[in-house]
């Protein structure tokens, strides 16, 4: 896939900030790039660059766009480091222009730089018929398909609430979602793929409690992580394929409970990105060689008191994807689409929410 490059920056006197590469046959083209409040600040022997950009993109295809993922690379700052920015639950018509907001902070030595600080390219576009375009270097096809399926599931649920209980019922659902989001504690987490050099005397294994989802193709059999205070290390989960199809990928959502009983979404443990073929009835174990440390916002360690796991997605070898139904996981953290709809209701009211549900 050939690429056409476009370099944009703050001014002609400075090195260009971005290099934007979209393939020539891309269904999305760059219209313009705006720089809002982008600034540079020395910090000790380093330089902090805040790049706040809004890219204006156009749907050059003949289909509606549901999701888009951009790959952001900054080889000069962190060799090998990369990032992605995805917008989901979109409804971009052919020929329509839409914004993508990227806020990037770079910390780099004060040495002068000649090349672009960051390069942006397209990793994938998901259309309304769930077809996909893009190099898919970050496996964004699967991720965006899962998000779109979750969004459809949740919109369908809220439409059924509207049909059964009317606008007041929908309003109550939104208020409950907003309350759950407000009650969700905010945590910071640090992750390192680590090699231990000293032992932790107080480290103890803590078993996962798994949420039973009857129609899940994957059954979690057991799971454990080593816990010491606010640190979780080397989580591992054993699963069995109880479906009749070969599974090529799965993710286990990981929820952590602190000493006050508050729960928060810590992350996920997942199968290898490629190469797995789990036959019907077969079992496997996945593990992460990672050390995670949790703290509350002011930097206070948060003790881990319990862990819950649930199967959050499964991909079969034919590319089909399974996600849990809403009733199985509705007491957990609200899904991205539920969060988006609740935010829309909070900011613009019920009429805007009804319009949004009717759009899809």
In sign, the C-alpha dihedral spanning 226, 232, 234, 239 is: positive
Cβ distance to another protein smaller for residue 42 or 214: 42
Q: Tell me how far apart the alpha carbons of residues 311 and 160 are, in angstroms, rounded to a whole number.
A: 25
Q: Is 312 in the site for another protein (CB under 8 A)?
A: no
What is the number of other CB atoms lying within 10 angstroms of the CB of residue 184?
Answer: 14
Q: Tell me how far apart the alpha carbons of residues 312 and 252 are, in angstroms, rounded to a whole number.
A: 6
Q: Tell me how far apart the alpha carbons of residues 134 and 63 are, in angstroms, rounded to a whole number.
A: 15
What string marks each residue from 210 to 249 as x (binds another protein by CB under 8 A) or -? Answer: ------------------xxxx------------------
Cβ distance to another protein smaller for residue 238 or 268: 268
| Contact (CB, 8 A) for 128 and 66 | yes
Question: For another protein, which residue of 56, 136, 184, 308 counts as binding (CB under 8 A)?
Answer: 184
Min dist. Cβ of residue 98 to another protein (A): 8
Question: For another protein, which residue of 303, 328, 350, 354 counts as binding (CB under 8 A)?
Answer: 303
Q: How many residues bind another protein (CB under 8 A)?
A: 85
Cβ distance to another protein smaller for residue 4 or 36: 36
Question: For another protein, which residue of 4, 131, 176, 289 counts as binding (CB under 8 A)?
Answer: 289
Which listed range, 5-13, 216-224, 292-300, 319-327, lies at the site for another protein (CB under 8 A)?
Answer: 292-300
Measured CA angle at 102 (ends 349, 149), to 5 deg:
60
User: Shortest CA distance to 96 belongs to which of 134, 130, 62?
Assistant: 62
* Element at 290 (helix H, strand E): none
For the chain, the distance separating the N- and C-terminal CA atoms, rounded to the nearest angstrom, is: 32
Residues forming a β-bridge with 316:
247
Q: Which residues contact 200 (CB under 8 A, 6 or more apart)?
A: 228, 231
DSSP E strands in 229-331: the ranges are 231-241, 247-258, 263-270, 283-287, 291-296, 304-316, 321-322
Min dist. Cβ of residue 205 to another protein (A): 14
Name which of residues 36 to 65 contact another protein (CB under 8 A): 45-46, 50, 54
Q: Is 343 in the site for another protein (CB under 8 A)?
A: yes
Name which of residues 112 to 171 contact another protein (CB under 8 A): 138, 143, 147
Residues forming a β-bridge with 253:
268, 310
Cβ distance to another protein smaller for residue 163 or 194: 194
What string marks each residue from 242 to 271 as x (binds another protein by CB under 8 A) or -? Answer: ------------x----x-----xxxxxx-
* Element at 99 (helix H, strand E): strand 97-109
Question: For another protein, which residue of 12, 164, 195, 204 counts as binding (CB under 8 A)?
Answer: 195
Which listed range, 156-164, 205-213, 237-245, 330-338, lies at the site for another protein (CB under 8 A)?
Answer: 330-338
* Element at 153 (helix H, strand E): helix 140-183
Check residue 93 and report its DSSP letter.
Answer: P
Min dist. Cβ of residue 281 to another protein (A): 26
Question: For another protein, which residue of 61, 89, 177, 313 counts as binding (CB under 8 A)?
Answer: 89
- Give the tokens for residue 271: 């199968």
Name which of residues 96 to 115 contact another protein (CB under 8 A): 98-99, 101-109
Question: For another protein, which residue of 65, 87, 162, 353 counts as binding (CB under 8 A)?
Answer: 87
Question: For another protein, which residue of 37, 41, 129, 297 counts as binding (CB under 8 A)?
Answer: 297
Q: Is 344 in the site for another protein (CB under 8 A)?
A: yes
Which listed range, 169-177, 199-207, 211-219, 318-326, lies at the site for another protein (CB under 8 A)?
Answer: 199-207
């Amino acid at each position: 896939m050939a690429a056409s490059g476009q370099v944009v920056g703050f001014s002609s006197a400075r090195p260009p900030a971005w290099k934007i590469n979209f393939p020539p046959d891309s269904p999305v083209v760059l219209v313009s790039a705006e720089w809002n409040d982008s600034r540079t600040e020395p910090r000790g022997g380093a330089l902090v660059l805040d790049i706040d950009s809004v890219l204006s993109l156009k749907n050059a295809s003949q289909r509606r766009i549901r999701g888009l993922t951009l790959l952001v690379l900054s080889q000069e700052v962190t060799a090998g480091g990369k990032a992605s920015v995805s917008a989901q639950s979109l409804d971009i018509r052919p020929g329509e222009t839409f914004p993508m907001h990227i806020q990037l902070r770079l910390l780099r030595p004060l040495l002068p730089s000649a090349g672009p600080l960051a390069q942006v390219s397209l990793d994938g576009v998901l259309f309304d018929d769930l077809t996909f375009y893009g190099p898919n270097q970050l496996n964004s096809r699967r991720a965006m398909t899962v998000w779109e399926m979750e969004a459809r599931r949740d919109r369908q649920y809220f439409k059924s609430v509207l049909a059964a209980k009317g606008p007041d019922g929908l309003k109550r659902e939104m208020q409950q979602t907003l309350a759950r989001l407000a009650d969700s504690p905010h945590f910071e987490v640090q992750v390192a793929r680590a090699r231990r050099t000293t032992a932790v005397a107080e480290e103890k294994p803590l078993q996962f409690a798994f949420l039973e989802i009857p129609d899940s193709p994957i059954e979690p059999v057991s799971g454990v992580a080593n816990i010491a205070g606010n640190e979780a290390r080397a989580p591992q989960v054993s699963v069995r394929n109880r479906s009749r199809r070969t599974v090529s990928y799965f993710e286990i959502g990981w929820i952590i409970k602190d000493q006050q009983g508050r729960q928060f979404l810590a992350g996920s443990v997942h199968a290898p990105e490629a190469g797995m073929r789990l036959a019907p009835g077969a079992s496997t174990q996945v593990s992460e060689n990672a050390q995670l440390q949790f703290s509350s916002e002011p930097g206070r360690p948060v003790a881990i008191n319990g862990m819950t796991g649930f199967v959050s997605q499964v991909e079969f070898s034919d590319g089909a994807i399974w996600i849990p139904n809403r009733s199985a996981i509705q007491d957990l953290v609200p899904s991205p689409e539920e969060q988006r709809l609740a935010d829309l209701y909070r900011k613009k009211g019920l009429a805007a929410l009804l319009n949004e549900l009717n759009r899809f």
